[in-house]
């Protein structure tokens, strides 16, 4: 079935191309003949020529373009070096320089050309064209990319006896005198992947905001997981009158009424929490589906599908759940299994089986705007324990994704107006869910949200590959990062960068990112230099903004008033001397912010300097502390609120200065505990925000 927005001429071209590929498949060949290659290029309407393989230079002019079917992301387009250079190790190149990748579903020819232009292959091509004194054939390349992207919309090779699907199509190309030519093409075919039924995503609302909750697996005599969950539900404020324990032989447990079975329910449950042993889940899920009394289910038990013994029954269970989504109402949705649970502040419940005394969740924010989705419950627990200021609106553990996947849940949150930032921890995607997830990322970005993603296993299969083998991309961390960044996500390199990027995304979401010019201020010389050293990544750089003359004069006046003029030279980055007090730091910060040549400011707040009111209490100078009206804690929050540019404060000090940091963070000030992490996070964040703005501009035209 053709894409409804695809022009008829493109559909006809695709039909001719797929007919030709069908011919190759029937012949059980992988390499196209010269005649077939000419026919394919003609069908695609591509303006490139044909060159005999024997005429290939095998070197400077060679590069490769490919379509590959990945398990997670569907059809991916790639372009990189060809010839002998294709055997180079990808790890020898900076990030994004070896091969350009993009999701065909979210890309145009001109978009992909921009990505290809950052690669070593394009840079070599540009050098060769300069030597030949001709321009790089960007128009031809963009047209070829467009042709392949259109082909990717219709890659099924229909055969009644054996349905086939294009798995890979790879062109080897040369460029000479500004003309692109193809020397050979190879293709492979395989069985089309099975499709799952769409989930009734609207029922996620029942999961997050249940008017009724039932629990199976609560012990009346011991503190098992089910009993802990029950107590956490009550302890987090969920009304006992809206709770039901499914348990025969008991009238109530902890003041919550019991019923003997699902069939004995007198009302439909918005949410059923299943905390029984794994072996009991299979029959219980069948009862849940057949009863029609449950809208959403949380499967707590582990080991389902995680051991060799359980994989086959778990797969059968997933198939039965999938089939239930064919019911008129879509059937119940299932979160888990091997699922820690959900914390929903708006839903007034906490179903985690961690006792509240082991993980207090502070009520720091009147209005939370963040979500955390994690395949691992322990990841969320540790992140929240170490970063209690995050305190998201919702926290969901996905477990092994028996039913609901990363893509399903992000699709739901991408359209929620109250959500601004979404943090996601991923261990792996179900088949085709990477594409589903990437499309949800793009929708979230178009809706003005930010999505921060960290994937574990970044050194797994694919990291030792060679540049030319673009067909070997399943599980490749380079591909993962490339396509999710293309969709608009902020991809973290490790756990620390996830913490930093998720935090900064929430703290600066409502600030204006006007460009890449940074102002850096500190009373410590190493911090000013450290900020300057940390403003570049492999794919993006900020620069120190050039201060305008009025700004220089204003800073000189501040320094003169603070008796620091003889000690400090006004520049960017600026070291304002350890003698500067709180007011000096903040007045110079605001002077930088008012400069049109500065887009963001990182300011070292120098907590150890004797002139700064950074201690919770001071024995040496009583009253000279964070409660003083002239302290940074009192003066900085209003300054942050009245300026629409990003401001990051750096408090590089030990536990003595935790109170200063926490008081500022609680008032909405973005604070980091060292300058390098602050600058690195800001650079990655600005890169993502600028790219997100470009996505929205292309989509809306303004």
DSSP state of 473: -
Q: What angle do CA 199, 204, 208 make, to 5 degrees?
A: 165
Percent of the chain residues topping a pLDDT of 90: 67
Dihedral pair phi/psi, residue 412, rounded to 5°? -65, -50
pLDDT over 50 at 277, yes or no:
yes
430 with 440: CB under 8 angstroms? Answer: no
pLDDT over 60 at 364, yes or no:
no
* Band of pLDDT at residue 2, cut at 50, 70 and 90: very low
CA distance to 191, 328, 466, 673, per residue, from 167 (Å): 9, 35, 19, 48
pLDDT in tens, 90-147: 666 777 788 899 999 999 999 999 999 999 999 999 998 999 999 999 999 999 999 8
Q: What is the pLDDT of residue 87?
A: 66
Report the Cα–Cα distance between both ends of the chain, in Å, rounded: 32
619 with 627: CB under 8 angstroms? Answer: no
Give the pLDDT mean for 530-540: 85
Give the pLDDT mean for 623-647: 97
Alpha helices in 562-645, H assignment, sequence order = 582-593, 632-642
Phi and psi based region of residue 28 (left: phi greater than 0; alpha: psi -120 to 50; beta: remaining): left
pLDDT in tens, 397-451: 999 999 999 999 999 999 999 999 999 999 999 999 999 999 999 999 999 999 9
Would you call 614 exposed, middle or buried from its count of C-beta atoms within 10 A (0-12, 13-18, 19+)?
buried
Q: What is the pLDDT of residue 47?
A: 77
> How many CA atoms are closer than 13 Å to the CA of 563, on its beta-carbon side?
3
pLDDT over 90 at 395, yes or no:
yes
What span, in angstroms and rounded, lies between the C-alpha atoms of 68 and 189?
10
Give the pLDDT mean for 40-66: 72
pTM across the whole model: 0.92
Dihedral pair phi/psi, residue 664, rounded to 5°? -70, -45
Q: Return the structure tokens found at 431.
A: 């088949």
What span, in angstroms and rounded, lies between the C-alpha atoms of 413 and 419?
7
Dihedral pair phi/psi, residue 403, rounded to 5°? -130, -80
Q: Return the structure tokens found at 262.
A: 């699902």
What span, in angstroms and rounded, lies between the C-alpha atoms of 27 and 157?
13
Enumerate long-range contacts of 445-448, CB under 8 Å, 24 or more apart: 445/487, 445/488, 445/489, 445/692, 445/695, 445/696, 446/695, 446/696, 446/699, 447/414, 447/415, 448/420, 448/696
> How many CA atoms are closer than 13 Å to the CA of 643, on its beta-carbon side?
28
Domains of the chain: 8-190 (3.30.470.20), 201-430 (3.40.50.720), 517-694 (3.40.50.261)
Q: How does the average pLDDT of the chain come out, rounded? A: 88
User: What CA dihedral angle connects 257, 258, 263 and 268, to 10 degrees?
Assistant: 30
Q: What is the pLDDT of residue 536?
A: 86
Q: Return the structure tokens found at 252.
A: 């109530």
What span, in angstroms and rounded, lies between the C-alpha atoms of 670 and 647?
7
Give the pLDDT mean for 245-262: 95
Beta strands 243-246 and 252-253, pairing class: unpaired
pLDDT in tens, 451-507: 999 998 765 443 333 333 333 333 578 899 999 999 999 999 999 999 999 999 999
pLDDT in tens, 198-236: 999 999 999 999 999 999 999 999 999 999 999 999 988
CA 199 to chain centre: 22
Name, in order, each residue with C-beta under 8 angstroms of 382's C-beta and a sequence gap of 6 or more: none
Edge-to-edge strands, sheet with 450-455: 349-350, 342-344, 394-397, 370-374, 421-426, 450-455, 490-491
Closest CA to 67 of 473, 488, 476: 473
For CA atoms 37, 43, 44, 48, give the dihedral sign. positive
pLDDT over 90 at 544, yes or no:
yes
Dihedral pair phi/psi, residue 600, rounded to 5°? -160, 155
CA 415 to chain centre: 16
């Amino acid at each position: 079935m053709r894409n409804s927005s695809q022009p008829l001429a493109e559909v006809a071209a695709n039909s001719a191309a797929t007919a030709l590929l069908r011919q190759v498949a029937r012949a059980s060949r992988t390499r196209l003949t010269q005649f077939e290659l000419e026919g394919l290029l003609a069908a695609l309407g591509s303006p490139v020529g044909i060159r005999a393989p024997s005429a290939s230079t095998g070197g400077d002019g060679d590069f490769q373009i490919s379509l590959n079917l990945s398990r997670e992301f569907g059809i991916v387009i790639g372009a990189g070096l060809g010839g002998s250079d294709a055997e180079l190790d990808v790890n020898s190149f900076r990030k994004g320089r070896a091969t350009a990748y993009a999701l065909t579903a979210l890309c145009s020819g001109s978009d992909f050309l921009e990505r290809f232009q950052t690669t070593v292959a394009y840079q070599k091509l540009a050098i060769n064209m300069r030597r030949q004194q001709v321009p790089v054939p960007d128009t031809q390349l963009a047209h070829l990319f467009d042709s392949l992207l259109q082909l990717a919309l219709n890659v099924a090779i229909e055969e009644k006896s054996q349905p086939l699907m294009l798995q890979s199509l790879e062109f080897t190309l040369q460029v000479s005198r500004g003309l692109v030519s193809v020397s050979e093409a190879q293709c492979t075919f395989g069985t089309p992947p099975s499709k799952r039924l769409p989930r009734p995503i609207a029922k996620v609302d029942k999961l997050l905001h249940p008017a009724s909750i039932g629990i199976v697996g609560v012990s009346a005599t011991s503190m098992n997981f089910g009993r802990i969950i029950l107590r956490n539900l009550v302890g987090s404020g969920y009304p006992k009158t809206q709770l039901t324990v499914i348990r025969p032989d008991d009238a109530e447990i902890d003041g919550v009424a019991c019923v003997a079975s699902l069939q004995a329910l007198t009302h439909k449950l918005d949410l059923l929490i299943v905390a029984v042993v794994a072996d009991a889940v299979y029959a219980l899920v069948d009862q849940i589906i057949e009863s029609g009394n449950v809208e959403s289910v949380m499967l707590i038990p582990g080991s389902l599908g995680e051991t060799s013994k359980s994989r086959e029954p778990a797969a059968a269970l997933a198939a039965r759940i999938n089939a239930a989504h064919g019911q008129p109402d879509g059937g119940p949705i299932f979160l888990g299994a091997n699922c820690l649970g959900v914390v929903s502040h708006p839903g007034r419940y906490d179903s985690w089986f961690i006792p509240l005394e082991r993980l207090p969740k502070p009520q720091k924010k009147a209005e939370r705007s963040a979500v955390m989705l994690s395949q691992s419950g322990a990841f969320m627990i540790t992140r929240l324990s170490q970063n209690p200021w995050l305190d998201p609106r919702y926290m969901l553990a996905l477990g092994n994704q028996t039913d609901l996947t990363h893509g399903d849940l992000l699709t739901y949150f991408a359209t929620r107006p109250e959500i601004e930032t979404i943090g996601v921890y991923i261990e792996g995607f179900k088949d085709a869910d990477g594409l589903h997830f990437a499309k949800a990322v793009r929708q979230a970005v178009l809706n003005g949200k930010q999505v921060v993603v960290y994937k574990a296993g970044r050194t797994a299969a694919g990291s030792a590959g060679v540049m030319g083998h673009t067909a070997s991309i399943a599980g490749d961390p380079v591909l993962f990062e490339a396509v999710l960044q293309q969709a608009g996500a902020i991809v973290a390199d490790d756990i620390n960068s996830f913490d930093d990027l998720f935090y900064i995304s929430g703290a600066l979401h409502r600030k204006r990112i006007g460009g890449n010019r940074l102002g850096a201020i500190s009373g410590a010389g190493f911090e000013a230099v450290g900020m300057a050293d940390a403003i570049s990544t492999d794919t993006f750089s900020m620069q120190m903004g050039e201060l305008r003359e009025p700004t220089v004069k204003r800073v000189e006046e501040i320094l003169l008033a603070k008796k620091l003029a003889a000690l400090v030279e006004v520049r960017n980055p600026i070291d304002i001397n350890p003698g500067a007090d709180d007011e000096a730091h903040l007045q110079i910060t605001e002077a930088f912010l008012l400069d049109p040549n500065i887009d963001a400011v990182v300011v070292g707040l120098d907590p150890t300097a004797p002139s700064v009111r950074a201690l919770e209490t001071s024995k040496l100078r009583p009253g000279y502390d964070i409660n003083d009206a002239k302290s940074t804690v009192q003066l900085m929050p209003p300054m942050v609120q009245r300026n629409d540019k990003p401001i990051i404060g750096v408090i590089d000090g030990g536990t003595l200065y935790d109170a200063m940091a926490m008081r500022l963070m609680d008032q909405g000030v973005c604070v980091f505990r060292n300058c390098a992490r602050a600058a690195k996070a800001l650079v990655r964040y600005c890169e993502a925000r600028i790219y997100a703005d470009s996505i929205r501009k292309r989509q809306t035209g303004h």
